[in-house]
Chains A and B, each alone.
Chain A
Amino acid sequence: MIVSDLPSAELGTRLADPGLHLVTGQFQLCIRSPIPALAATIGLMYADYPLGNAQGFTDFHVTLEHPTGLRRWWRKQVVFEFDSALPFKPLPATQAFPMLEWGLNWCVSSYANLYLIIHAAVVEKNGFAAILPAPPGSGKSTLCAALVTRGWRLLSDELTLIRTADGRIVPLPRPVSLKNASIEIMQTYAPQAVFSPKVFDTVKGTIAHMKAPADSVARAAEDACPGWIIFPKYQAGAATSFVPISPAHGLMRLADNAFNYSSLGLQGFETVAGLIDACEVIDFTYSVIDEAIAAFDALAAEALERQTGKAS
């Protein structure tokens, strides 16, 4: 059963108490919230996700609710609770859905230490995954959102999980986060995609989320082989270009983008080194999305040819 199989009234009731159990990638979640607007957005963004087993083991129990006291009524706020602790300050109640997404990312990146967790989007085509680490403002999310509306599988838009045991990429497809101008860009570029309502005045500006493609969610159990590490940079007016990065420099930049590189110690280093050995490491500049997609498609086609050439 998936979330959209639940009538919306039941979804709201379940969310309020005892919580909605659902499955995202490797993780069983229980989300509890009495906030009706949040229930509506969850129903929209997580429609395709399998329901979890309330009698089983849940990896992360999270609750989003209004705080007690004055802020329950006046300039309403929302708090994120995980295991009876409040890791974040309260936010305006209108930011409940972004807070849920940030909170879930925090849970995974804080605890799941059998994965090297890179702050990067990751997409896959023809059996090879492109990891896109990038600081804010690089256009990574727009590029990731565009790629997954043009045939690339979404593995994750924010947290790339590399299983330290074998170096494979483990998917965690969740709603793709978009900011400011990129929201309208994507709404124009992919009018068939489903978007959450915009949320204004967050610390990152205006935020909206794009629903992950149903196919990506359905294939969340399929892990992937890393093919490229691509550092994207949007630059207005620039020609589309790939510039190779030396492996050693690539390693330093990749490690710098990994949340738990330090915590993993030697295994973290070896996982990063393994990725560098397995991948081409590239700086990518673009200004036109269609050209960027074409460049990525060409990479995927080349990789497929090489693989088919090897097989025959």
Chain B
Amino acid sequence: MSELLILSALRLPASMPKLGLQQWDLLIRQARRGNLLARLHSLLAQAGLLDHVPYQPRQHLEWTRVTADRHAQAVRTEVARIQQALSGQPVILLKGAAYVIAGLPPGAGRVFSDIDILVPKAQLLDVESALLAHGWMASQHDAYDQRYYREWMHELPPLQHMLRETTIDVHHAILPQTMAMHPDSNALRAAAVPLAGYQDLLVLAPTDMVLHSAAHLFYESELFNGLRDLVDLDALLRHFSQTPEFWHQLTQRAGDLGLTRCLYYALRYTRMLLHTPIPPPVAAAIEDARPPFPISAIMDVLYRRALLPDHASCVDHATFAARKCLYVRGNWLRMPPLKLARHLFHKAFISPRH
């Protein structure tokens, strides 16, 4: 596949003003499908290049900026409400909400579906009670789904606010309990960084934020926002690596948390698809965590395709199969074999979604 416009644009925002109208047409569509339109707007804005974008594609970028601004406002409001409901309980924000409230680069140009927080497992039920008392309610899940989340995964079933209809996911760990890897939640909480100007609100330490983002991307079973999540990783790496000790701390921490394989994938695919600058010694050292051949080669074949937007211009004959393989792999990693069969069977035959 010749270089995709969306990848060129993300790698080098300054290349966008040189595009012709037909190229803009395709780029806007690829970006929209990959949930990256608002991100493109924010990259162009940061580089001072918006005025160089032709009128029509600029309209599309501005339309999406309006949505992203509103989402950022909604996240701030929602986090304030969560703080009120859980007053006195330290709460660690995860993923998108953390990026927005902490003012980190992946927060710019983001569209949200829910807010993720991390609390100690011992306090899970108290947190749930407090949220229920402040207007959140359990989503419509049957007993099986309740068990899936509580016993096997790492979170409560999503809670939805009855008036605002916003959703909150309460995690006690960053990976499901059924997985082989168990990054120590106590260690993550101990290293969490308080947010200046906020009471009892924290975010993960920089290395942990990167590792969580990587774990979410490479162990989740669905990749609809794969490229968007990879872009987040790239932005976090570029931002945090401004601190010289960061790379050393990152590889060290990956080892401590049992996530070196995950870090390998993160560095490999950010560099491959987004040309993230990774110091050669770091890239060389992480090769130790590469899966053995032929697995590493197979993963390349799968992820090169599955991480691209699901737009006709970004897929080839193998993309559908690649996504399917990674879906099964994702479930496989999250659930031991017998549970997997029961879960997929249950999802497919007992609880139809539509």
Contact = CB atoms under 8 A, between A and B. Distances in A.
A265 B62 contact: no
Given A61-B29, A84-B312, A265-B70, A55 B62 contact: no
A200 interface: no
B316 to A, nearest CB: 14
B56 A263 contact: no
A265 B22 contact: no
Interface string A243-279: 0000000000000000000111101000000000000
B33 A114 contact: no
Interface of B: 21-22, 24-25, 29, 32-33, 54, 56-57, 59-60, 62-64, 66-67, 69-70, 73, 310-312
Contacts of A57: 21-22, 24-25, 54, 56-57
A113 B311 contact: no
A59 B66 contact: no
A147 B160 CA distance: 46
B69 A56 contact: no
A239 interface: no
Contacts of B24: 57
A55 B23 CA distance: 10
**Chain A: interface size category:** 10 to 19
Contact of A263 (B33, B60, B67): B67
Contacts of B33: 83-85
Contacts of B32: 83
B22 A59 contact: no
A298 interface: no
A74 interface: no
Contact of B66 (A28, A83, A263): A263
A96 to B, nearest CB: 21
Interface of A: 28, 55-59, 61, 83-85, 111-114, 262-265, 267
A111 B70 contact: no
Contacts, number: 55
Nearest to A264: B66
Given A83-B311, A111-B63, A114-B63, A55 B70 contact: no
A103 to B, nearest CB: 16
Nearest to B309: A84
Contacts of A267: 66
21 contacts: A55-B22, A56-B22, A56-B25, A56-B56, A57-B22, A57-B25, A57-B57, A58-B25, A83-B33, A84-B29, A84-B33, A84-B312, A111-B60, A111-B63, A111-B64, A113-B62, A113-B66, A114-B59, A114-B66, A263-B70, A264-B66
Given A57-B21, A84-B29, A262-B70, 6 more contacts: A58-B25, A83-B33, A113-B64, A113-B66, A113-B67, A263-B66
Contacts of A111: 60, 63-64
A84 B67 contact: no
Query: Lowest 4 A-B CB distances belong to which pairs?
Result: A113-B66, A57-B56, A57-B21, A113-B63
Contact of A84 (B25, B54, B310): B310
A56 B60 CA distance: 15
A83 B64 CA distance: 16
A125 B233 CA distance: 55
Contacts of A113: 62-64, 66-67
Contacts of B70: 262-265
A84 B32 CA distance: 10
A265 B63 contact: no
A56 B26 CA distance: 11
A265 B71 CA distance: 10
Nearest to B28: A57
Given A85-B33, A113-B67, A59 B311 contact: no
